[in-house]
Amino acid sequence: MRDMTATTFEQTGRFLAVPATLDFDKANEALYQQGMTDGLPVIPPTYERVARMLEGARRDPAQSLGTMGPAYGHATIEKIAVNAVMAGCRPEYMPVIVAAVEAMLEYEFNLYGINATTHPVTPMLVVNGPAADKLRINSGYNCMGQGWRANATIGRAIRLILVNIGGGTPGVGDRATHGSPAKFSFCLAENEFASPWLPLHVRRGFAPEDSTVTVHGSEAPHEINNHTSEEAEGVMRTFAHTLSTLGHNNSYLGRGEVAICIGPEHAQTIARDGLGLADVQDYLYRNAGNRRSELLAITRDNFAAMAPFEAAEEDPFVRLVEKSEDYLLFVAGGVGKHSMAMPSFGLTRAVTKRIDL
């Protein structure tokens, strides 16, 4: 029974009632039973491991970056470090994780909605600048898949933070109908070396020598295959067509941002025709979307279809986003003629923060 006379409540402590001397299996069982893991085994967060992790942050452990919904737990540097230990991070990853948490706490990211929603959204982290090489964050072959410690554990730490600090327990604070495999971990770097264009962080106002992390409230990635086009038009047309479906949130809302991770070969095909990323954004803005009649065939209440249209077209083309800049483009991947499409939660904006290396 809640004490109604208390002025504050819901305190939780620094330590668990789990002895640090328990063996690995038993410690994991205790953490798992308390719903503190992602289902995979974790590194038990002993005081010594957390202290080592904090050395990588070089910040006051008691400092709170803010509260994370829906539980409104305080994201202190120490709590972030505990979760980073559990995820298997190295201490030098801490500045990336801290910057990503700072980014997620910006109002426009809508973390409260993203953590609680029924939509299968997860924060995708894209790292730019020297941090990518220094921390060996994969931006090439299989950069969205398994095999790289930095990608796997930084993304995993973010998920554990959302569960333990934000209260994103499945079926409780996290109401994702299905979730997605990307919710275990989704972190990569831009392949700046393979990109013919300016890197994402420079396009978002940072200096080339800055290291940054950009968070995007993303669906799991969907492949865009184009093995044959010799010109930019064909590749961009495939991008637009892949996105022009009725079933994702940007189609439903007619706004938000849509990310595309352009594979280096597709990037070369596009750049060879003299096009920049602004041209790709403009092409997608004009060509990705749905006919209003198709949207209204589903329901009278499609938000995108209800928007006013300037032109008195008989069957207007309803775009996925409000302006061309709402296409968040970056280059990553290995050799091969694939790119990846990531529609978003819709009611969220990507946020970029500098990494304090």
| Distance, CA of 330 to CA of 339 (rounded, Å) | 10
Structure token pair of residue 102: 């700072």
Nearer to another protein, 110 or 242 (CB): 110
| Distance, CA of 81 to CA of 85 (rounded, Å) | 6
Q: For the window 317-356, what string marks contact with another protein as x by the rule CB under 8 A?
A: ----------------------------x-x---------
Q: For the window 48-87, what string marks contact with another protein as x by the rule CB under 8 A?
A: x-x----------------xxxxxxxxxx-xx--xx-xx-
Neighbours of 10 (CB within 10 A): 9
Nearer to another protein, 171 or 205 (CB): 171
Q: Among 128, 117, 55, 115, which residue's Cα sits nearest to residue 85?
A: 55
Stretch that binds another protein, among 45-53, 265-273, 307-315, 317-325 (CB under 8 A): 45-53
48 burial (CB, 10 Å; 0-12 / 13-18 / 19+) is exposed
Q: How far is CA 123 from the centre of its chain?
A: 2
Residue list 144-173, contact with another protein (CB under 8 A): 160, 164-167, 170-173
Nearer to another protein, 2 or 227 (CB): 2
Nearer to another protein, 119 or 354 (CB): 119
> With binding defined as CB under 8 A, does residue 25 bind another protein?
no
Q: For the window 101-120, what string marks contact with another protein as x by the rule CB under 8 A?
A: ------x--x-xxx-xxxx-
**355: left (phi > 0), else alpha (psi -120 to 50), else beta?**
beta
Position among 10, 23, 209, 314 found at the interface with another protein (CB under 8 A): 10
Residue list 245-274, contact with another protein (CB under 8 A): 253
| Distance, CA of 348 to CA of 287 (rounded, Å) | 22
Nearer to another protein, 301 or 313 (CB): 301
Residue 291 CB, shortest distance to another protein, in Å, is 21
- The H or E element that residue 76 is part of is strand 73-76
